[in-house]
Amino acid sequence: MTDTVGGVILIGPAQLALATLFVVFVGILSIRLSLGITRDLAVATVRTYVQLLALGFILRWVFGIDSSWLVVGLVLLMVLAAARIILKRSPDAPPGLFGSAFVSMALTGFLITFAVTGVIIQVEPWYLPQYVIPLAGMVIGNSMNGIALALERMFSDLDRREDEVLALTALGATPWEAAHPAIRDALRAGLIPTINSMAAAGIVFIPGMMSGQILAGADPVTATGYQIVVMLMVAAATALGSVMALVLTYRRRFTEDGVFLETGFRDETR
Amino acid sequence: MPEPALLAASDLVALLRVDGREVRVLDGVSFELEPGAIADITGPSGSGKTTFLRALARLLPEVTGSLSLAGTPAEQIAPSAWRNSVALLPQKPAIFSGSVAENLRIPWTLKVRHGASAPTDEALRLALLGVALTDVDLERDAARLSVGQQARVALLRVLLTGPRVLLLDEPDAALDDASADAVGARLREFADAGGAIARVRHHRSDGLATHRYLLSGGSLGAIPGGAPAPEFLHDHTPPSNAEEVSS
């Protein structure tokens, strides 16, 4: 009753409909118990369908066209989207952050992705979309989370520590010196999810990429090699991207004379 | 030509947003401090006393007017070097994680004091004694000190850097009488050695001030009778080393 292609069991409309039934059941439960998540769940389900189907068709199209420009363009689009999401998730951040978020995302996204595909895996041609796009997605997605966490943490921490920042500045500290404790803690906060998942990988869960390759019929040990490369790559990208974003932005909360702009001194128009 | 004041401010104007309205907290304030002076600044709550001290320390984001230190205009002094000489002690004592000794040596971890050596343990112990922190060990966790003890550690941290002008925001608010007296004596010593002090105070006069001012409605006015109160026993002669300091 099931079709297979290259060892992978196909999922057709009937299987999708069956899977959707689970969500419908949860929806009914939510209405009965007045949980208030029916609407969000419905929207999320529709979004999952639309976004992932679109992604599938776009990737099929890109894989067929075989153009380096198209691959680079797609990665750039991913970087742009990630930079926008970082901004949305940093409500405490000063205005004009988009440029810094974009630069940090773009540099780490391109640098790490192409270092892995070009130097470690050595794909031929260098832009082979089947490798570059999924790897870029993982690099960009994870460093986006790290950067957003780190930025949000740094700016809220600076506000929380404004007394310490003032005291240090009064002792002659430069903005870098006054902000350093907040920068250090923010970097740690941005990296913790990545470090935690590295520590738990293989014990608590089978990482996503490895699961995918095993489902697709790959040898588990081969899949392990890829997964290790991906985890190290994600850790490097998150650290690099967060450091860059923090260094590029902390100064925006200080005046030219190095005075921290406390809440009362800010122009609250973003 | 008369000697320039140690610290001079003229025509300071500062606008602050309070509840969405712009308030002229400082409306053309001029002020001078001579070596040896201790100026008390009083005024109703919210009249801008803290803002005024921050303006003098060049720690206020939007302020116009001019400042000079011993005749040198502020524009010719880097902000961090200015703050090193004109040291502000904020009202809330900032205590960092670590021991009392580490807290006292924080200033020497900063670039502005690069190359200068931090005070020795012996110097720190002596300094603690000078502000009646007799029972505080250098290795104590600074976070576990009482508020009054923390306030004195924060004051010492500033004093030890050797500023020329001290700007103190309610330095004795958290102190009992005995500690306030010890701090007062230490401040007197600082002024007698040619330093100058501006203090924001709510309390009744402690007889230390050589000048008293009232900040209200954005302007600063001298309160007559700012000279030492009759009960003040200190022999207040002008400091002998004033020329040396203001050169």
**Predicted confidence (pLDDT) at residue B58 exceeds the cutoff of 50:** yes
pLDDT at B231 over 70: no
Which of chain A's residues have a Cβ under 8 Å away from the Cβ of B62? Answer: 265
Q: Distance from CA of residue A225 to its chain's centroid?
A: 22
Segment B203-212, tens digit of pLDDT: 677 888 999 9
Helix (H, G, I), strand (E, B) or coil at B68: strand
> B122-154 pLDDT, tens per residue?
999 999 999 999 889 999 999 999 999 999 999
Q: Classify residue B198 as exposed, middle or buried by CB count within 10 Å of its CB (0-12, 13-18, 19+).
A: buried
For residue A6, what pLDDT is reported?
67
Report the DSSP pairing between strands B21-33 and B7-18.
antiparallel
* Chain-centroid distance, C-alpha B139: 27
Is residue A173 predicted with pLDDT exceeding 80? Answer: yes
How would residue A209 be classed by pLDDT, with cut points 50, 70 and 90?
confident
Q: Which two tokens stand for residue A110?
A: 């391109």
Q: Which residues in chain A are contacts of B89 at CB distance < 8 A? A: 170
Closest chain A residue to B54, measured at CA? A170
Within 8 A of A177 by CB-CB distance, chain B residues are: 109-111
State mean pLDDT over B39-47: 91
- Give the bridge partners for B199, in sequence order: B40, B168
Please state the domain extents for chain A: 1-65, 67-265
CB A182 within 8 A of CB A157: yes
Average pLDDT over residues A85-108: 89
| Residues of A with Cβ-Cβ distance to B93 under 8 angstroms | 167
Helix (H, G, I), strand (E, B), or coil: what is residue A164?
Answer: helix
Angle, CA of B169, B172 and B173, to the nearest 5° = 80
Pull the structure tokens for residue B223: 């309160």
Q: What is the reported pTM?
A: 0.83
CATH code reported for the domain at B7-89+162-246: 3.40.50.300
Low-confidence winner among A35-39, A100-104, B36-40 (lowest mean pLDDT):
A35-39
φ, ψ of residue A192 in degrees (nearest 5): -55, -45
Per-residue pLDDT band for B173 (boundaries 50, 70, 90) equals confident
Q: How many CB atoms lie within 10 A of CB A94?
A: 17
Query: pLDDT at residue B226 above 70?
Result: no
- Residues on chain B touching A168 (C-beta within 8 angstroms): 94, 106, 110
Q: Tally A–B CB contacts below 8 A.
A: 71
Residue indicated by tokens 């650290």: A239
pLDDT at A266: 80
Distance between A46 CA and the closest CA of chain B, angstroms: 43
- Kindly report the number of other CB atoms within 10 A of residue A13's CB atom: 7
Sorted by where each begins, the domain ranges of chain B are 7-89+162-246
Q: What distance in Å separates the CA atoms of residue A81 and residue A98, rounded to the nearest whole number?
A: 11
Residues of A with CB under 8 A from a CB of B: 163-164, 166-174, 177, 181, 255, 257-259, 261, 264-265
Residues A85 and A97: beta-carbon distance below 8 Å? no
Contact status, residue B182 vs residue B151, Cβ threshold 8 Å: no
In terms of CA atoms, which chain B residue is nearest residue A253?
Answer: B61
Task: Report residue B21's pLDDT band, with 50, 70 and 90 as the boundaries.
Answer: confident
The partner residues of B211 in beta bridges, in order of sequence, read B39
Q: Best residue in B69, B83, B164 to probe A by mutation, most A CBs within 10 Å?
A: B83
Nearest CA in chain B to A174: B80
Torsional class of B65: left (φ above 0), alpha (ψ -120 to 50), beta (otherwise):
left
Quick check: bond before A91 cis, omega within 30? no
Asked if residue B229 has pLDDT above 50, the reply is no
pLDDT computed for residue B90 by the predictor? 95
How much is the pLDDT for B172? 87
Determine the average pLDDT of the residues in B159-173.
94
ipTM over 0.90: no
**Looking up tokens 């939007």, which residue turns up?**
B62
Looking at residue A192, its amino acid is I
Q: How far apart are CA B96 and CA B73, in angstroms?
A: 33
* C-beta atoms of A166 and B59 within 8 A: yes
Element (H, E) at B148: helix B147-160
Q: Give the C-alpha separation, B65 to B230, whole Å.
A: 37
Say if residues A180 and A119 touch (Cβ distance below 8 Å): no
Which residues are CB-neighbours of A171 under 8 A, at least 6 positions away? B83, B84, B87, B106, B107, B110, B112, B157, B158, B161
Structure-token match 């189907």, residue found? A53
Express the helix, strand and coil content of chain B in percent, nearest 5 each: 30, 25, 40
Task: Using CB atoms, pick whichever of B16, B79, B154 lies closest to residue A264.
Answer: B16
Q: Which residues of A touch B109 (CB under 8 A)?
A: 177
In sequence order, the 6+-apart residues with CB closer than 8 A to the CB of A269 are A95
pLDDT at A184: 95
- Give me chain A's average pLDDT, please: 91
Can you give the pLDDT at residue A2?
A: 59
- Rounded to whole angstroms, how far apart are CA atoms A138 and A144? 10
Q: Per-residue confidence at B84, pLDDT binned at 50, 70, 90?
A: very high
